[in-house]
Amino acid sequence: MIPQAEISTRRERLQAELPDPVLLVGNHAPHGNSSSVRLRFRQESTFLYYTGCRLPGAAALFLDGQYTLFLPAPAPNAALWHGQFESFDELCELHGAHRLLAMEKLPEILERLQVEARPIHALAIEDARAMARLREWTGLALDPVAEHEEERDSQALREVAARHRSVKSPTEVAEIRRAVEVTAEGHRRLFAACRPGVKEQELARELWAAFLEADFAEAYEAIVTVRGDVLHCESYENTLEVGQLLLVDAAAAAPSGYASDVTRTFPVSGKLTPFQRDLYGIALAAETAGIDACGAGSTYADVHRAAASILAEGLREVGLLRGSVGDLVESGAVALFYPHGTSHPLGLDTHDMDSLMRGAEYLKNRKDERMGLKYLRNETRLEPGHVLTVEPGIYFAASILENREFRETFRDQVDFARVDRHMGFGGIRIEDDILVTAGDPENLSVAIPKSPEAMERGRNAMRSS
Ligand SMILES: [Mn+2]
């Protein structure tokens, strides 16, 4: 858990950099198709970062050095259904707020600020119910991607919050390490249970059991599939067969909210075919090059180019690509096998600060529409304390490799006759969580095995054919 003193320091930094009033809102409690059916609550991450408050429907106002937390008053019969709540005084103390008010007081306070013509820094969040209320109270459009500046939310707040959240403190890194440890246990159990004849669903259960036993949540919906070529395959219905590769992209999130994000790919039978071994080696070499490129001062694009270049070189060696490595990366030819970016930030969210960085200024950088390069939208330079994933892959995706237009465009750079012999290969992805330091990057998930030997070890004995 993050100590209250650290959260208080975050607020002090925020207020020092943004002296005008700052208004943050949290998520509402999610529910099923009926509002009486409750689902697990997850706080909005920027709200959580500056308040540590895990209660639904909350708001926070930072005004002239004072922190006011607003909470919905409990319904008259709430104690019957949900148990006794802490009093507002206790909650105020617990959250280190200067005062705690009922949510219904917030509109009049905002109205007074508007009468005094004080600009308010407000942040649009994904939760539609929270946003509807916030727009009503402030009368502002709060559209993060509006063309006109006056219709946007506070770009200054986005910039400051993204900068603060980007650099992880030692306690935040410790939380990510805890999430990685639980992830490692899930992967270990899944790996041990992997053999031909079992269903993806049975293996996914091994992960979930490990996460639940640790009282950790899934950081995102786990991918456990022999169809690795479907990048985010989220069904678990296939039965594992000899010769297939199983791709497992699954990770835990700590109760504090900090996430991990890890992918491993291994042979169902415990033995890689020669072609699988070649491609696995290429993906691993690309991942290693990506990790090595995570030095302070690098950009996300630098990390991607490092990984994509090694991938292009390897795919050329096995005869799938032709031409110079530079051309293969810049033309997008390598992206026919590797159609996504290499990295994203990791922290309170698996795709950390994704919505926070979706502001209008940030979108302007999104100009490159070339295959594989169009996802390189993050222009941030890495600094010590940044945590990011490195996750290159090689996929035989029919939607790309059997596309006529691509076949025409890349006919000189790709050996499509050779490609055709390997359709049905599936996909390989290898992903680790990397901490940027003043020296060498640190791989936080290094304890989860990934060498080709480790991917084969232990299951040969279980092979059923
Ligand atoms: Mn990832």
Mean pLDDT over 93-121 rounds to 94
Strand pairing partners for 62?
22, 67
Band the pLDDT of 462: cuts 50, 70, 90: very low
CA of 409 to the centre of ligand 1 (A): 30
> Could you say which of 115, 136, 166 is where a domain stops?
166
CA of 344 to the centre of ligand 1 (A): 7
C-alpha 456: how far from its chain's center?
29
CA of 335 to the centre of ligand 1 (A): 17
> Nearest 5°: phi and psi at 309?
-65, -45
pLDDT in tens, 353-381: 988 887 655 545 555 566 656 556 567 89
CATH number at residue 51: 3.40.350.10
Classified as helix, coil or strand, 69 is strand
CA of 345 to the centre of ligand 1 (A): 9
Q: How many domains does the chain have?
A: 2
Same domain? For 112 and 193 the reply is no
Scored b (16 or more CB within 10 A) or e, 112-140 reads: ebeeeeeebbbbbbebeebbebbeebbeb
Classified as helix, coil or strand, 403 is coil
Same domain? For 282 and 350 the reply is yes
The residues near 215 (Cβ < 8 Å, ≥ 6 apart) are 255
CA of 93 to the centre of ligand 1 (A): 37
> Tokens 């319904």 sit at which residue?
75
CA of 145 to the centre of ligand 1 (A): 25
- Cα distance between residue 448 and residue 450, in whole Å: 7
Instruction: Classify strands 427-429 and 393-395 as parallel, antiparallel or unpaired.
Output: antiparallel
Same domain? For 120 and 186 the reply is no
Q: In what order do the strands lie in the sheet with 66-71?
A: 99-102, 66-71, 59-63, 22-25, 121-122
Same domain? For 198 and 94 the reply is no
CA of 58 to the centre of ligand 1 (A): 30
Q: Which of 82-96, 98-112, 386-400 has the lowest mean pLDDT?
A: 82-96
CA of 398 to the centre of ligand 1 (A): 22
Determine how many CB atoms are found less than 10 A away from the CB of residue 95: 21
> Nearest 5°: phi and psi at 147?
-70, -40
Give the pair of three-digit tokens for residue 233. 């395959």
Q: Are 164 and 14 in contact (CB under 8 A)?
A: yes
CA of 288 to the centre of ligand 1 (A): 16
pLDDT in tens, 211-242: 999 999 999 999 999 999 988 878 999 999 99
**What global pTM score does this model have?**
0.94
CA of 261 to the centre of ligand 1 (A): 5
Same domain? For 290 and 325 the reply is yes
- Cα distance between residue 227 and residue 277, in whole Å: 17
pLDDT in tens, 71-103: 998 887 877 777 777 888 999 999 999 999 999
CA of 70 to the centre of ligand 1 (A): 34
CA of 425 to the centre of ligand 1 (A): 22
Strand pairing partners for 24?
60
Phi-psi region of 400 (alpha: psi -120 to 50; beta: other; left: phi over 0): alpha
> Could you say which of 166, 200, 233 is where a domain stops?
166
Same domain? For 209 and 290 the reply is yes
pLDDT in tens, 148-175: 888 889 999 999 999 999 999 999 999 9
Same domain? For 205 and 65 the reply is no
Same domain? For 412 and 438 the reply is yes
Report the mean per-residue pLDDT for the chain. Answer: 92
- Cα distance between residue 440 and residue 426, in whole Å: 33
Give the pair of three-digit tokens for residue 127. 């939760």
The residues near 369 (Cβ < 8 Å, ≥ 6 apart) are none
Same domain? For 243 and 111 the reply is no
Same domain? For 406 and 323 the reply is yes
Mean pLDDT over 91-117 rounds to 94
CA of 443 to the centre of ligand 1 (A): 14
Length, in residues, of the chain: 465
CA of 374 to the centre of ligand 1 (A): 17
The residues near 126 (Cβ < 8 Å, ≥ 6 apart) are 44, 355
Classified as helix, coil or strand, 12 is helix
CA of 206 to the centre of ligand 1 (A): 20
- Cα distance between residue 16 and residue 62, in whole Å: 11
What stretch of H or E contains 283? helix 274-292
* CA-based nearest residue to 233, from 367, 397, 25, 401: 397
Same domain? For 87 and 191 the reply is no
Domain that holds residue 161: 4-166
Model pLDDT, residue 463:
44
Model pLDDT, residue 232:
83
Model pLDDT, residue 36:
85
The residues near 178 (Cβ < 8 Å, ≥ 6 apart) are 254, 258
> Could you say which of 121, 142, 166 is where a domain stops?
166
CA of 342 to the centre of ligand 1 (A): 9
CA of 456 to the centre of ligand 1 (A): 24
Q: Are 344 and 389 in contact (CB under 8 A)?
A: yes
What is the number of helices (H) and of strands (E) in the chain?
Answer: 17, 15
pLDDT in tens, 42-56: 999 999 999 999 999
Same domain? For 386 and 276 the reply is yes
At what angle are helices 300-317 and 274-292 packed, to 10 degrees? 150
Band the pLDDT of 461: cuts 50, 70, 90: very low
Cα radius of gyration rounded to whole Å, the chain: 24
